[in-house]
Structure 1
């Protein structure tokens, strides 16, 4: 068997590159991670969503073998410890770059590369990849938060891994750095890498991820693709003095009609164009018509709140 899997084009329906089964972890008799099963396809950015304390970081540590617990994780069908060069299988970013503060970025990456069996000439390549060529000789203690996050990604990429795990990589970043992160992770996925990103920044994740897994109270409570999310249907807000005349026609088209207050209704299941046509056909005056597509935040809050209600 080859020591490194071949890249796979992005397709959320493909078999998992990484498969976690039955991950469980207790802390002082409290169940923190509760029988988690998840898949990370190759060539896809997977968002791992959850509030602070939901268990995202612990789950990642269990998947990497950094925390001992129940369950099993395989990478392309094999546990990580069975791969001869694990740095070529998975790269990890957890809180920027950790190293001696007096070391330069180049010296630090050379030390990490030596430990991973990666040649020195890979160091300038990853530094250039993350846009830190002008920072290569700076000490780690002088790096800004954004630079440190980039340096962490450079470190994770040293072995040119097929899988990349990032734990809250956008924390504290300015808009420019967030855009850079988004573009970089998208490029890596387009190259066929599996990218798993944990985050609680929902608006950003909607722009970045191909699919999302939602974690609440240590359990996976939902999973969807961004394409599926868009097909869930939009909310149409309608204002008219004659709303009652549209309630039944909306239902006949398969939509739902909810009166919010006098003169305002929310319609779901049909488009604003259909609503406008219904109003025009019946001569109903329309004072306001707005369609709002479902957001990842709406989806997350709905499934997370349901988990808290049933717990």
Structure 2
């Protein structure tokens, strides 16, 4: 059972709240429709229930609020609008990746594709799916972890009658197994035909909470809509003539210049108005719910009146994937973006290496890295930063990549998985770039230019630290600022802004240096240093003493602190 109590969204500037003191229930084993006109607050109400929108109120799923459920995906399945996913990812790849996020076997993806009628289209890319197929895939995402409750925002919007019938048949089957189904719609006839209970809202407030039979009997009666500046006079005339003719006619003022007349016809009302000289602006037969009363006149449940008793509802970050490494690998390798970036980096690196070798003035390490002095970063480091920025940037652009509830997770386990996978991808890309450059130089100019330097271990360490640092800088910046562009900007800011700033800070004379630090550390009696540790420590200090190395270390420290601060601040509101 779903219980929504006192849901109230945060008021917008100079506007009333989109949802105001909304209270209702959706029972287990039932299909409940949340009915309302566009901009009536239906979508905001769902987002408040899922704790994706700041406001006040409580929503309990079988007695527990969502942030107290250990695995929300197994309790609530959602579909908010279109399926947000990378358009180049296949339907099967999208579901398999979300299986890792929900902690269910990957075979569940093929089972769900068959359930929703997409068994033969698992290899089709999301960007090429029709509206009906997109809705089917969205329903598969909602059902992925076999949740008890389904929250669907306008799932039948734009579907053909046949697809609409299939959709509601599937929802009815889920409810028949004891599940709870709540979906939004603006079509009263669809609600009366497909739902067991209908909750009607207007301007974010509850108008009616009825079962389908009562809704059809009281709010789907045929009526005549009449607009006239003389509503009181015309209503009295219609009521008097119906009494004289001994007919049952009901006249309901709807506010303003509108009357709803039940039990009569356009012809009869038109004749009455003509005989008495009453001006008419509209006269039309209608079937459907009458216009809802104004929000100030809407009834409210007793428990919803005590707004002070409803706790504030803050926006909570969703929990991370239950299998973060598997999720991250499928996210990285499930689209063509990764191999395209790698191919572009290798081609660019080879071309730059050939041009640098032609001049004959570039040192061998910079030649193999394809890093001319006029470029802020070599192609491999920039490509690694781009892959790192996409690790979080894609999720903010396509929220369903992160979790079924549509927000990006902040769990430290997912961060560790992203850091590990992005570092591995950066090192592979850096190694491929060096090998490709060496092979191209050997083929074009001979083997002298591709000779291995004597200090290759330290060069490998510094090269790997550069590409991994760029990858992590892009990843953390995209996570903090929620944008791939921000991640790329952070990568480029290291050599363009941070390095010159550090050079200016340390440009002055120094009276003290750290020269000889490894030897002094070895003299400490309580520390046992392994063999040749001072050599590696000296190399590390030299690496950090380089402008780019110091700038990367400083940037990564600041971005990591900012990331942890934003993540833990979200957790504190739990």
- Normalised TM-score (structure 2): 0.41
Partner secondary structure for residue 78 of structure 2? strand
For the 8 Å contact 2:223–2:263, the answer to whether it is kept is no
Matched with 1:307 is: 294
Counterpart selection for 2:82 from 96, 119, 135: 96
Matched with 2:4 is: 20
Matched with 1:214 is: 200
Aligned mates of 1:165, 1:35 — CA distance in 2: 20
Could you say if the C-alpha distance between residues 236 and 115 of structure 1 is closer, same or farther in structure 2, counting changes exceeding 3 Å? Answer: closer
Counterpart selection for 1:109 from 88, 95, 100: 95
For the 8 Å contact 2:6–2:56, the answer to whether it is kept is yes
For the 8 Å contact 1:96–1:151, the answer to whether it is kept is no
For the 8 Å contact 2:198–2:215, the answer to whether it is kept is no
Could you say if the C-alpha distance between residues 235 and 177 of structure 1 is closer, same or farther in structure 2, counting changes exceeding 3 Å? Answer: closer
Aligned mates of 1:262, 1:122 — CA distance in 2: 61
Matched with 1:194 is: 180
Counterpart selection for 1:147 from 133, 148, 171: 133
Aligned mates of 2:63, 2:206 — CA distance in 1: 22
Partner secondary structure for residue 21 of structure 2? strand
Matched with 2:150 is: 164
For the 8 Å contact 2:99–2:144, the answer to whether it is kept is yes
Matched with 2:318 is: none
Aligned mates of 1:51, 1:263 — CA distance in 2: 28
Aligned: 1:46 with 2:32: yes
Aligned mates of 1:44, 1:126 — CA distance in 2: 22
Which residues in structure 2 correspond to 1:175-254 (within 5 Å)? 175-232=161-218, 247-248=245-246
For the 8 Å contact 2:24–2:209, the answer to whether it is kept is no
For the 8 Å contact 1:211–1:226, the answer to whether it is kept is yes
Aligned mates of 1:211, 1:23 — CA distance in 2: 19
User: When you count strand as a share of all residues, which structure comes out higher?
Assistant: 1
Offset at residue 307 of structure 1 (A): 2.6
Aligned mates of 1:212, 1:102 — CA distance in 2: 38
Offset at residue 121 of structure 1 (A): 1.7
Aligned mates of 2:97, 2:189 — CA distance in 1: 37
Aligned mates of 2:54, 2:128 — CA distance in 1: 34
Matched with 2:303 is: none
Matched with 2:288 is: 298
Aligned mates of 2:189, 2:223 — CA distance in 1: 21
Measured against aligned partners, the alpha-carbon deviations of 1:272-298 in whole angstroms (never above 9, x if no partner) come to: xxxxxxxxxxxxxxxxxxxxxxx9x53
Could you say if the C-alpha distance between residues 72 and 310 of structure 1 is closer, same or farther in structure 2, counting changes exceeding 3 Å? Answer: closer
Partner secondary structure for residue 86 of structure 2? coil
Offset at residue 160 of structure 1 (A): 0.5
Offset at residue 247 of structure 1 (A): 4.7
In structure 1, the gaps of 5 or more residues are 1-16, 238-242, 265-294
Offset at residue 231 of structure 1 (A): 4.6
Runs of 4+ in 1 over 6 A off after TM superposition: 233-237, 243-246
Offset at residue 55 of structure 1 (A): 0.7
Aligned mates of 1:27, 1:244 — CA distance in 2: 47
Could you say if the C-alpha distance between residues 130 and 248 of structure 1 is closer, same or farther in structure 2, counting changes exceeding 3 Å? Answer: same
Aligned mates of 1:168, 1:138 — CA distance in 2: 24
In structure 2, the gaps of 5 or more residues are 225-240, 250-261, 271-285, 299-574
Partner secondary structure for residue 145 of structure 2? coil
Q: Count matched residues.
A: 253
Partner secondary structure for residue 67 of structure 1? coil
Partner secondary structure for residue 32 of structure 1? coil
Partner secondary structure for residue 119 of structure 1? coil
Aligned mates of 1:38, 1:117 — CA distance in 2: 32
Could you say if the C-alpha distance between residues 259 and 38 of structure 1 is closer, same or farther in structure 2, counting changes exceeding 3 Å? Answer: closer
Partner secondary structure for residue 294 of structure 2? helix
Matched with 2:110 is: 124
Could you say if the C-alpha distance between residues 246 and 186 of structure 1 is closer, same or farther in structure 2, counting changes exceeding 3 Å? Answer: farther
Which residues in structure 2 correspond to 1:68-83 (within 5 Å)? 68-83=54-69
Matched with 1:12 is: none
User: When you count helix as a share of all residues, which structure comes out higher?
Assistant: 2
Could you say if the C-alpha distance between residues 85 and 258 of structure 1 is closer, same or farther in structure 2, counting changes exceeding 3 Å? Answer: same
For the 8 Å contact 1:23–1:70, the answer to whether it is kept is yes
Aligned mates of 1:156, 1:178 — CA distance in 2: 17
Measured against aligned partners, the alpha-carbon deviations of 1:228-270 in whole angstroms (never above 9, x if no partner) come to: 2345496699xxxxx999955979xxxx976875699xxxxxx
Could you say if the C-alpha distance between residues 234 and 61 of structure 1 is closer, same or farther in structure 2, counting changes exceeding 3 Å? Answer: closer
For the 8 Å contact 1:23–1:62, the answer to whether it is kept is yes
Matched with 1:278 is: none
For the 8 Å contact 1:221–1:307, the answer to whether it is kept is no
For the 8 Å contact 2:74–2:148, the answer to whether it is kept is yes
Aligned mates of 1:204, 1:249 — CA distance in 2: 31
